[in-house]
Amino acid sequence: MNDFTFYSPTKFVFGRGYVDRTGAELKSCGFSKVLLAYGQGSVVRSGVLARVRESLEAAGVSYVEKGGVRPNPEVEWVREAIALARAEQVDGVLAVGGGSVIDAAKATAFGVPYDGDVWDIFDKRAAIGGCLPIAVVLTIPAAGSEGSGSCVISNDAENRKVGTSGDVFRPRLAVMDPELTFTLPAYQTVAGVTDMIAHICERYFSGVGAVPVTDNIATGLVNALMEATPRVLENPEDYDARATIMWAGMLAHNDVAGCGRSLNPATRAGGWESHGLEHEVSAHHPEVTHGAGLAVVMPAWMRYVWREDPQRFLDFAEAVFGIEPVDDEFAPREEAVEDAVTTAIDELQAFFRDSGMPATLADFGLTPDDVDPMLATLEKNKGKTFGAFKTLDMDDARAIYESCF
Amino acid sequence: MNDFTFYSPTKFVFGRGYVDRTGAELKSCGFSKVLLAYGQGSVVRSGVLARVRESLEAAGVSYVEKGGVRPNPEVEWVREAIALARAEQVDGVLAVGGGSVIDAAKATAFGVPYDGDVWDIFDKRAAIGGCLPIAVVLTIPAAGSEGSGSCVISNDAENRKVGTSGDVFRPRLAVMDPELTFTLPAYQTVAGVTDMIAHICERYFSGVGAVPVTDNIATGLVNALMEATPRVLENPEDYDARATIMWAGMLAHNDVAGCGRSLNPATRAGGWESHGLEHEVSAHHPEVTHGAGLAVVMPAWMRYVWREDPQRFLDFAEAVFGIEPVDDEFAPREEAVEDAVTTAIDELQAFFRDSGMPATLADFGLTPDDVDPMLATLEKNKGKTFGAFKTLDMDDARAIYESCF
C-alpha cells in the first residue's frame, strides 16, 4: 500500500426530490449569492432549473444566471463568467448539470480571485490561489466532477483541451437527486457508466500490485454498476438502479478507489492510458462521446498490456466475473492464465456492447487512415512515452489504435 | 437506496513515517497553536510524542500539552482541557492516540466556544455551536474516530457514558502512519478489527434491504480485514497488513459503508444493537475490552435475529464467506438457508476466536447472575425496546445475553 493523501470534503446530499433542497443546503453551507451556471438548455426544458430557482428564492439565496456551457467547455465562457461573478460579487458558484457545467463552474470559481487570465492556470504559467466555494446539482452521472478535484477546459483559439487538478476546487456541496436522471437517454447513460468503469480501471491498473482494501472497493463499484445498468435499460425509472449509478459515479472518481495505488503520493493513482488514448479520438471526431470511445479503447488497451502483470488482471477477472484460470495438467499454466484474462476482457467488452456501446472505431465511421493524426496530437499531449501499468511509446499506441478496427 | 447525507471532510495523509509530517500538515491546514492531547503515556514511551513535538517545532506550530486521557475518557479531563485551551488561546486541538484521546479532543474542541458546562451537550440540554478544528495522529486503529462524527464521553459523578454526533466535529486532518501500530499487542489489534467489523455490520444489518453499491464496499472491507488480520498476527511488522487495518478502520466508520442504508436520513444507518448490548458488558466489567465484548455479543445477536431477514444474511454469507444455500430436492429450502446462515455466523465467530478473541461471556469470568444488572442499565440507555434489524425488548436482550454463556 503506497503512501497517499485522501481528501474528499464535499457534502453530498442524496435522495428523491432533493433538487428542491438546493437553496436550503446552500444556505446552510454559507452561500448567500451564487453564479448559477448551466448548459445548453436541457435543464430549462426538464424544469430542473425552475425548481432550483424556486428553492434558491425560498431559502433567500440570491443568484445571477449564466447558461450556455457547451460539451467540452470553452475558456471564453469561463472568462465571461468570471467577469460576471466579479461584477455581481457572488460568494460562490452553483453548477446545474453534468461534468462540463461543473468543470466550467470550477474554472470560474478559481478564476475569480486570480488577477490574470484564467487560461494561465491551465497553461501551468500560474498556480491556483484562492477559490470561491462551488456547489453542484448533478443531472448527468458520468464524469464524477461533483466530487473530484479535476477540471478540464478547452481553448478553441489554441486548439487545446487541458486539465488541471487540485483539492482546493473540490465542490463544497453536491445535491444528488437520482430522479433527475430518469429521462437520460440509454446511450448517454451507458456512456456515463463506461466512463465510471474507466475511472475505476485507470486506478486499478496503476502499476501497483494488490491493495486489497482499495481493490475491493473498486471491484465492488464495478459489480454494482454492471448489475444496475441492464435494470436501467429495462426500466429507465428504476430508482435504485439510477441511484446506484449516480452514487457509484461519484465514488469512481473522488479517489476512494485509488488510495494506496499511486506510484507517486503527490499525484492520483494510474497512468490514465485509456483516457489519454480516447482523448484523441473524441478530439478529432467530436461526434464520439467520451464514454463510448472508452468502450472501444479501454478493452483494446487491456488486451495489449495485460502480460505486463497478469496477476493484476487475474484479480480483476475473479472479483468482477468470477473467472479463475482452469488448472489442466496437460496444458501449461500460461495458457490457463491467458484464457482467464482474455475471457474477462471479452466479458467486459461484451457488457459494453450489450449495453449499446460500439465495439470498434469503425463503428464510429473511422478508418485506419484516422490513426496518424491522432498519434500526432497524442504525442503532443502525453509525450513520447506514457503509461503507469506499462510504458507505451507511439508504436504501441499505433498498435492499440489499429487493434480497434 | 434510502436518502442520505454523506460528509467526510477530513484530510487523510497516510504513509510510512508520516508522523514526522504532522507539523507541516497542521500548518498547511491553518493551525498555528494547538492543544496537544494524549493518553496515559504509551506515546511518551514509544517516542511518538517526541516526534510529534519535533515536527510541530520544525513547522512553527505552537502547542500546549495535556496528557492523561484515560480509556472511556472522563468529562472532568475535558473540562480542564477546555479551561487550558481558553487560557492559552489555542486555535485547534491535536489528538495523539486512539479513540479515547480523539473523543476527548473532540469534546474539548466543541466545548471551548460553548458558554456553559460541556456536559450540557451530552445531556442534550444544549446544542453544539462552534467547534475548534481538530487534528489527529492515529496510534490505535479501532474506533474510527479519526474520520467519524461520533464522540463518547463518560461522567463518573453521574455514572453515565454518553455519545453525541455531528459533522461539525469531524477532524480537519488525520495523520495515519501504519508503522506506529507495529508494536500494538495482538489482543488489542484484533479487538480493534472486531470493532471495525462491528461498525460495518451494524450498518449492513440496518433494517434496509440490499444497497449493492454500499454493500459491496462493506463486505469488501470485511474481506480485506479478515485477510490482513492473520498476517499481522504472524508478523506484527507486516506493513501492508497494518496499513489495511488502519485504513479499513477509518472507512468502517466514516459512513461510506452506510450510505443509503439508514431508515432515517437524518441519522446514521443501523440500530447499533450489538454496540448497545456490549456497552453494558464493558460498563459493568471494565476489564472487558469493547472489541472483545463485541466478538461475543455480535454473533449471539446475529443468531437471535437472522430469521427477521434471511436474505440479508445470505447476501453477507456469500459475499464474505462464499457460502450459498445448497439446493437439495429432498430437504426444504428453509433448511438450506438456515444451514448457510448459521455456517456463516459460525465462520465469523471462528475468525474472532482463532484470532484470539473470547467466544463466551464466561471467558471473561462472567456468570448468568451478571445479566440482570446489565439489563437494568440497558433499559435506561436504550429504552424498553430498541433495534433496527429486529425490534428487541428486554426479554430478547436477556435471551441474547444468556446465549453468550
Chain B residues inside the 8 Å CB shell of A167 = 11
How many beta-carbon pairs below 8 A join chains A and B?
126
pLDDT at B332: 83
Whether B394 and B379 have beta carbons less than 8 Å apart is answered as yes
Chain A residues inside the 8 Å CB shell of B257 = none
Could you tell me which chain A residue has the CA closest to the CA of B4? A14
Contact B220 A223 (CB under 8 A): no
pLDDT at B136: 98
pLDDT at A327: 82
Averaged over A175-185, what is the pLDDT?
98
Pull the grid cell for residue B328. 437439495
Could you tell me which chain A residue has the CA closest to the CA of B9? A9
Q: Going by DSSP bridges, is the β-strand pair A173-176/A4-14 parallel, antiparallel, or unpaired?
A: parallel
Model confidence at A131: pLDDT above 90: yes
User: Domain B11-181, CATH 3.20.20.30 — does that match?
Assistant: no
pLDDT at B327: 82
Whether A388 and A207 have beta carbons less than 8 Å apart is answered as yes
Whether B111 and B78 have beta carbons less than 8 Å apart is answered as yes
List, for residues A320-352, the tens digit of each pLDDT value.
999 999 988 887 889 999 999 999 999 999 999
Chain A residues inside the 8 Å CB shell of B256 = 251, 256
One digit per residue, the tens of pLDDT, for chain B of length 405 reads 999 999 999 999 999 999 999 999 999 999 999 999 999 989 999 999 999 999 999 999 999 999 999 988 999 999 999 999 999 999 999 999 999 999 999 999 999 999 999 999 999 999 999 999 999 999 999 999 999 999 999 999 988 888 999 999 999 999 999 999 999 999 999 999 999 999 999 999 999 999 999 999 999 999 999 999 999 999 999 999 999 999 999 999 999 999 999 999 988 999 999 999 999 999 899 899 999 999 999 999 999 999 999 999 999 999 999 999 998 878 788 999 999 999 999 999 999 999 999 999 999 999 999 999 999 999 988 999 999 999 999 999 999 999 999
List, for residues A77-121, the tens digit of each pLDDT value.
999 999 999 999 999 999 999 999 999 999 999 999 999 999 999
- How high does pLDDT run on average in chain A? 96
What does A3-19 look like in DSSP terms, one character per residue? -EEEEEEEEEEE-TTGG
What does B163-221 look like in DSSP terms, one character per residue? EEE-GGGS-SEEEE-GGGGTTS-HHHHHHHHHHHHHHHHHHHTSS----HHHHHHHHHH
Find the CB nearest B227 among A7, A12, A212: A212
Model confidence at A226: pLDDT above 90: yes
What does A358-370 look like in DSSP terms, one character per residue? -SSGGGGT--GGG
Could you tell me which chain A residue has the CA closest to the CA of B11? A7
Contact A4 B11 (CB under 8 A): no
pLDDT at B157: 92
Interface check A221 vs B, CB under 8 A = yes
Q: How many CA atoms lie within 13 A of A361 on its CB side?
A: 24
Interface check B394 vs A, CB under 8 A = no
Domain boundaries, chain A: 11-181, 186-402
- How far apart (Å, rounded) are the C-alpha atoms in residues B160 and B173? 30
- How far apart (Å, rounded) are the C-alpha atoms in residues A75 and A112? 13
Pull the grid cell for residue B23. 507539523
Report the CATH superfamily, name and number, of domain B186-402.
Dehydroquinate synthase-like - alpha domain (1.20.1090.10)
Rounded to the nearest angstrom, the minimum Cα separation between A4 and chain B is 5
Whether B13 and A28 have beta carbons less than 8 Å apart is answered as no
Q: How far is CA A14 from the centre of its chain?
A: 19
Q: A102: closest CA among A62, A134, A130, A55?
A: A134
- How far apart (Å, rounded) are the C-alpha atoms in residues A199 and A179? 24
Interface check B372 vs A, CB under 8 A = no
Rounded to the nearest angstrom, the minimum Cα separation between A320 and chain B is 11
Contact B223 A216 (CB under 8 A): yes
Query: Within 10 Å of residue A364's Cβ, how many Cβ atoms?
Result: 18
Query: Which stretch of DSSP H or E encloses residue B93?
Result: strand B92-97
Exposure of A26 by Cβ count < 10 A (0-12 exposed, 13-18 middle, 19+ buried)?
Answer: buried
Interface check A212 vs B, CB under 8 A = yes
Could you tell me which chain A residue has the CA closest to the CA of B15? A3
pLDDT at B331: 79
Task: List all residues of chain A from 118 to 137 with a beta carbon under 8 Å from chain B.
Answer: none
Whether A290 and A278 have beta carbons less than 8 Å apart is answered as yes
Whether A86 and A114 have beta carbons less than 8 Å apart is answered as no
Please list, residue by residue across A156-195, b when 16 or more beta carbons sit within 10 angstroms of its beta carbon and e when fewer do.
eeeebbbebeeeebbbbbbbbbbbbbeebeeebbbbbbbb
Interface check B226 vs A, CB under 8 A = no
Residue to mutate among A4, A5, A6, with most B CBs inside 10 A, is A6
- How far apart (Å, rounded) are the C-alpha atoms in residues A58 and A307? 58
Query: Within 10 Å of residue B133's Cβ, how many Cβ atoms?
Result: 18
- How far apart (Å, rounded) are the C-alpha atoms in residues B176 and B277? 30
pLDDT at A160: 83
pLDDT band at A159 (very low <50, low <70, confident <90, very high): confident
Interface check A166 vs B, CB under 8 A = no
Chain B residues inside the 8 Å CB shell of A246 = none
At B38, phi and psi to the nearest 5? -150, 180
Contact A244 B3 (CB under 8 A): no
